[in-house]
Structure 1
């Protein structure tokens, strides 16, 4: 280890983190952490709170689905704790940070008492997680780094109460990391000190997401039943991801298939819409696949479509171009920071006809897959990892 570099102990805090029942939930947070741990300069434990509600039926059954997740588990050799905090659906939104913090503090004090006295809290997602982490940091007198990731700033920061909580947490943090410059600009516009904000984009693990040879790609199209022109969409099946618009677009594109990879509360609604549009033979829903399998889907697809209403820095865009697959995306979050005219098309107005035209143009052979993959290969994790190390070492130095 180089002189002047210290072993840093961090406590990663976020409800957006995988668990044994949801292996892809918040996987972008886990991916960044795993790359950081490869530096061998950081030791980490994770506290990933899980929401709980006494009623387990009807609209509340989703809370019961996570009951089997243990209070503590080892995921990819990382020690992960899952304290439960009680939520009040729909009406208790602004109470969530305090409830989350109270439940997590019990576990965190135990972690400290057992010998892991960390140097910094590494929190992800400003609301409610970052606000809860701010409460915890004050209680324990610990430095705090908060990463802004998307909807936390693009939506919750605009609400009066949660926006005030976010600004307060930002002011009391040691540093703020944004995954896109668009988020940095919005925080500055909200009055947050620009000097404490760094932009560290998500990266891509090029040992997992990479371009396959053309003959392998053809074999994959056969294996995955993606023969013919195929559009791929990947993400949480929620309203904000805008899959409904994409289904409308596919309905206007005869002989084009759509594969949707993801799980979420809108799944059954989207399936019903696909049936109503008479797309049941052309739309396939895929769930529970690992990262290596996802790489295969990217390679087999002819285009990735992102039709989101809001985003931070969408990992699916980075992963797709790393595999050589061009992207059609709405102009949200940090999309314009990674897509250019050589690897994708950005739709400015989130308009159905624009989306249809962009998909048609891409399927018509506008992009060279080798050129797209070369651009994607530039988005490695190395700069992000070094940026985190610099930030955490600075915080530890000030603490000392």
Structure 2
């Protein structure tokens, strides 16, 4: 993709935490933009860069004209942010990007502060981030005030869901028409072709996600206490994911008498969950537009999810099937229904959901829309 002078558009992508759906989004975007002729660089927090992330960056590095940059980026705001902003400004002067795209709250902070009064355009995608905070808390006041003051420094807001766009306007302020909703997407190879039923699944349910309170793992465990398999055998639930509360949830499962039913296996490829079960659980208390929901539906799985964030946008015409967040009884009832043989009505719902996803959540559409935003910004200045 070229500018008006015929040179490739140069983009620096910045994030603090290279984990979860945010990181998946950046990698998909990087692949797509490189294929479309952009010149790219990636800057991430060295403190959160696991061996897997470092290996991924090393694999990408030869293709990244603007390089790979790792800096020590703190999670919480402080005076260190000013020092890091100066480092990022020096980086921008060195690599001379046309676009600086910040992902997540901290990525958005550095992208906009460092691009201020330079030739670069600042783009911001929250990925939830600050939108999960509330003005009633001290932390919320800090993060949301910072977001409000950064609006004038933002040339383009790219929200991954209408929920995020609406939440930003309600909590923080008017983007003055500089916003666009671009759904996350998957590649063609990730679509199974329709709903799939494993004849002999090894597990009744699977959870894939970070082990922290916002993901509702405790609600899942409590709901399991109310569910019995129609055949009378113990349930089998596969729990994929790592995080700060992993050991807490192991202990809680034991206290609830679920040690034999729940298997915590740590961070593993999502395909292991898809190969093990027909039903994926997403009991989150808050989300933006979670990849696991998109991936699971594309893989042909039945998804039991809460009505939070942009999940209703993924479910589309079948959004009535979502369960309320933090509701143990509702989650347990949905799980009981999923253990029954699929009725024609259920099959129809799953087929409708799959078709809607395939039509609206493809990675090529995502990259094309973001690339068009980059091009328009580069040509406007």
| Shared fold (TM-score, shorter chain, > 0.5) | yes
Q: Deviations over 1:185-215 (max 9, x none)?
A: 1222232224101000111223145369969
Q: Does the 8 Å CA contact 1:16/1:29 hold for their aligned counterparts?
A: no
Q: CA deviation at 1:218?
A: 4.1
For 1:148 and 1:130, how far apart are their aligned partners in 2?
7
Structure 1 match to 2:379: 397
Q: Does the 8 Å CA contact 1:203/1:380 hold for their aligned counterparts?
A: yes
User: Which runs of no fewer than 5 residues in structure 1 stay unpaired?
Assistant: 19-23, 52-62
Match of 1:129 among 107, 124, 134: 107
Q: Residue 43 in 1 paired to residue 39 in 2?
A: yes
Change (3 A) 1:26 1:374: same
Q: CA deviation at 1:103?
A: 4.3
For 2:86 and 2:129, how far apart are their aligned partners in 1?
24
Q: Does the 8 Å CA contact 1:157/1:166 hold for their aligned counterparts?
A: no
- Compute the TM-score of the two structures, normalised by the length of structure 2: 0.83
Q: Residue 184 in 1 paired to residue 156 in 2?
A: no
**Which structure 2 residues correspond to residues 148-227 of structure 1 after superposition, within 5 A?**
148-155=126-133, 159-189=140-170, 190-208=172-190, 210=192, 217-218=198-199, 221=201, 225-226=202-203
Q: Does the 8 Å CA contact 2:304/2:334 hold for their aligned counterparts?
A: yes
Q: Deviations over 1:127-147 (max 9, x none)?
A: 222122221112644210001
Match of 2:99 among 113, 120, 129: 120
Q: CA deviation at 1:81?
A: 1.6
Q: Deviations over 1:242-276 (max 9, x none)?
A: 11110111121123321111111110001001111
Residues 27-36 or 377-386, more deviating: 27-36
Q: Does the 8 Å CA contact 1:326/1:343 hold for their aligned counterparts?
A: no
Q: Residue 98 in 1 paired to residue 82 in 2?
A: yes
Change (3 A) 1:299 1:236: same
Q: Does the 8 Å CA contact 2:215/2:285 hold for their aligned counterparts?
A: yes
For 1:104 and 1:305, how far apart are their aligned partners in 2?
39
Structure 2 match to 1:335: 311
Q: Does the 8 Å CA contact 2:111/2:123 hold for their aligned counterparts?
A: no
> Aligned with 1:176: secondary structure?
strand
Structure 1 match to 2:58: 74
Residues 31-40 or 129-138, more deviating: 31-40
Change (3 A) 1:248 1:341: farther
For 2:113 and 2:219, how far apart are their aligned partners in 1?
39
Q: Does the 8 Å CA contact 2:316/2:356 hold for their aligned counterparts?
A: no
Q: CA deviation at 1:288?
A: 3.8
Q: Does the 8 Å CA contact 1:17/1:26 hold for their aligned counterparts?
A: yes
Q: Does the 8 Å CA contact 1:10/1:42 hold for their aligned counterparts?
A: yes
Q: CA deviation at 1:72?
A: 11
RMSD: 3.2
For 2:97 and 2:248, how far apart are their aligned partners in 1?
44
For 1:362 and 1:68, how far apart are their aligned partners in 2?
35
- Compute the TM-score of the two structures, normalised by the length of structure 1: 0.80
Q: CA deviation at 1:386?
A: 1.5
User: Which runs of no fewer than 5 residues in structure 2 stay unpaired?
Assistant: 229-233
For 2:293 and 2:214, how far apart are their aligned partners in 1?
16
Q: Deviations over 1:96-138 (max 9, x none)?
A: 54344244445x15xx54xx3211101111x222122221112
